[in-house]
Amino acid sequence: MCSFSSQASKHRFRTGVAAVEMAMVAPVIFLLVFGSIEFARMMMVCQALTNAARDGCRNASLVTTQSNNKVEIAVRDTLLGVVANASATDAIRIDIDPTITALMPSGTTITATVEIDCSDVSWLPLVFTAGRSIRATSKMRRE
CB-based contacts of 51: which residues, under 8 Å, 6+ apart? 78
pLDDT, tens only, 125-136: 766 677 889 999
Residue pair 94/114 in contact by the 8 Å Cβ criterion: yes
pLDDT (0 to 100) of residue 35: 86
55 inside domain = yes
pLDDT (0 to 100) of residue 113: 95
Q: Long-range contacts for 118-125 (Cβ within 8 Å, ≥24 apart)?
A: 118/42, 120/83, 120/85, 120/91, 121/41, 121/42, 121/45, 121/83, 122/38, 122/41, 122/42, 123/38, 123/41, 124/38
20 inside domain = yes
122 inside domain = yes
Give backbone dihedrals phi and psi of 21, rounded to 5 degrees, phi first: -60, -40
Beta-bridge partner residues of 134: 116
31 inside domain = yes
pLDDT, tens only, 50-104: 999 999 999 999 888 888 898 999 999 999 888 887 777 788 999 999 988 878 8
CA distance readout (Å), 66 to 55, 70, 74, 83: 16, 8, 14, 27
84 inside domain = yes
pLDDT (0 to 100) of residue 23: 93
The arrangement of strands across the sheet holding 92-97 comes to 92-97, 109-117, 133-141
80 inside domain = yes
pTM attached to this predicted model: 0.78
Q: What percent of the chain is predicted at pLDDT more than 90?
A: 39
5 inside domain = no
pLDDT (0 to 100) of residue 45: 92
**What is the rounded CA–CA span in Å between residue 101 and residue 128?**
41
Confidence category of residue 11, pLDDT binned at 50, 70, 90: low
For 44, the domain range is 12-141
94 inside domain = yes
Number of domains in the chain: 1
